[in-house]
A = this chain, B = another copy of it.
Amino acid sequence: MGGFFGITERRDCLADVFFGVDYHSHLGTRRAGLAVFDTECGLQRSIHNIENAPFRTKFSDVFREMSGTSAIGCISDTDPQPLLVRSKLGTYAICITGIVNNADELIRNYLDTGAHFEVMSGGAVNSTELVAALIGRKESFVEGIRFAHAVIEGTASILILLSDGSLIAARDRFGRLPVHVGKSEDGRAVSFESFAYQKLGFEDEAELGPGEIVRVTPDGIEQLSPPGKEKRVCAFLWSYYGYPTSTYEGVSVEAMRYRNGRIMAKNDRAAGFSCPVDYIGGVPDSGTPHAIGYANESGVPFARAFIKYTPTWSRSFTPPMQEERERIAKMKQIPVHELIQGQDLLFVDDSIVRGTQLKETVEFLYENGAKSVHMRSACPPIMYGCKFLNFSRATSDLELIARRVILELEGEEGFEHIDEYSRQDTERGRKLRKTICEKMHFASLEFQTLDGVVKAIGLPEEELCTYCWNGKE
């Protein structure tokens, strides 16, 4: 997915942007970049591959190479960014977060005009260059961004650094992803994560609305285009993507997860589940706070029966040993034998998508002597692959375990009863749970309800995107 961060202020901002971008490292693992504006050198740019070393290590030389009073940067899970672009709108740096699903069509249309793209190894067009090309079709940045938002199928939040040092920020059309603006005595910050600028001394000033476009200078925010009326914030920001310290739409991720866990515990209790286990645990990392909430509500002790080796495995930097890939994938989780051996355990995971990894985790618990493993998903069954952010990375809906089980149980017909399968109080719903339990060797399985998630978040359901659970666009 990725995330971006920018600052425009009255003093050199490079250190702030360096740390601000670094605080987005949980959002991507492939590329990172910085673009800096300096009155003397104009726009400078630096991009590094961060697959095998953390952001701060890779960018440690940047202070010798650049300086400036305005800068933007990003962590990118896809293409190298930011790009420096020159069009009739001027010369500027640009980065985006989101995904363009209809890139092929948009590229074709653009090339038909006789224009070209400078492409990447392999020949693919950089999504950010594509967005810049779309913006450049119109006579101003506002019109261009609106045009890009209109024609892109997918999601694109945009951050632009102009040659006068000011920033243009645009939240994606339906506000699926966040864009925050912070202020300090020295200037302004624009960020995916608000805690990033807060740690750097900025206070919350604004959260852009869906499709809203603003120009940001050290002195303030100028609205270039007002927010749209429809909002569909991705509910997974809280369930899974967000860092525990993140806050979106005023709602803390960590606190939402505690509430969510508590609701699940209450639901379980209401459904007659007596919680016959020794410990409640979370599947790290995002399952953990859901589990804390569940444990706090249920009164069963919370325990960390297996733990990630974070000193070096916070990111899976791997040596070039293809044959070891699979083995390496399992190396970061380490069991605490005394908390597994002979114990009845209940685990909460953030979600169950394809189930592959979770199956391995549960097997690993049984191999380490667990007596029973109950499983809870912190969200409803995923029935539709995400087409707005592509976070589930499922190439087809049939990779989703819920879909596969339905197909197995009653063939394609079953897809007409997805709503029933989703709920726990129907025959189909019980069958789905039972079948998954058998496949995965769960002692029991339950999903958070859609109502439960919405309540834990606390926003009106119509402002949330719940497409992957109920197919509602």
Contacts of A114 in B (CB 8 A): 87-88, 113, 115, 136-137
Contacts of A115 in B (CB 8 A): 87, 113-116, 133, 136
Task: Give the CA-CA distance A348 to B122 in the complex, in Å.
Answer: 51
Secondary structure class of chain A's binding surface, majority of residues: mixed
- Taken residue by residue from 235 to 275, chain A's Cβ proximity to chain B (1 for < 8 Å, 0 otherwise) reads as 00000000111010000101100100000000000000000
Does chain B have a CB within 8 A of A435? Answer: no
Does chain B have a CB within 8 A of A374? Answer: no
B85 A117 Cβ-Cβ under 8 A: yes
Task: Give the CA-CA distance A88 to B114 in the complex, in Å.
Answer: 7
Task: Give the CA-CA distance A338 to B119 in the complex, in Å.
Answer: 45
Tell me how many chains of this kind the complex includes. Answer: 4
Contacts of A15 in B (CB 8 A): 321, 324
Task: Give the CA-CA distance A331 to B197 in the complex, in Å.
Answer: 11
Do A84 and B123 form a contact, CB below 8 Å, given A315-B311, A336-B254? yes
| Segment at the interface with B among A39-47, A177-185, A222-230 | A39-47
Contacts of A338 in B (CB 8 A): 252, 254-255
| Segment at the interface with B among A167-175, A289-297, A446-454 | A289-297
Does chain B have a CB within 8 A of A60? Answer: yes
Given B23, B52, B119, which contacts A85 in the complex, CB threshold below 8 Å? B119
Contacts of A18 in B (CB 8 A): 319
Given contacts A199-B331, A244-B336, A292-B304, 5 further A-B contacts (CB under 8 A): A41-B121, A54-B312, A116-B129, A243-B309, A312-B315
Question: Chain A: residues with CB nearer than 8 A to chain B?
Answer: 15, 18-19, 22-23, 25-26, 41-45, 52-57, 59-60, 62-63, 83-88, 91, 107, 111-123, 125-126, 129, 132-133, 136-137, 163, 195, 199, 243-245, 247, 252, 254-255, 258, 285, 289, 292, 295-296, 299, 301-304, 306-307, 309-312, 314-315, 317-321, 324, 331, 334-339
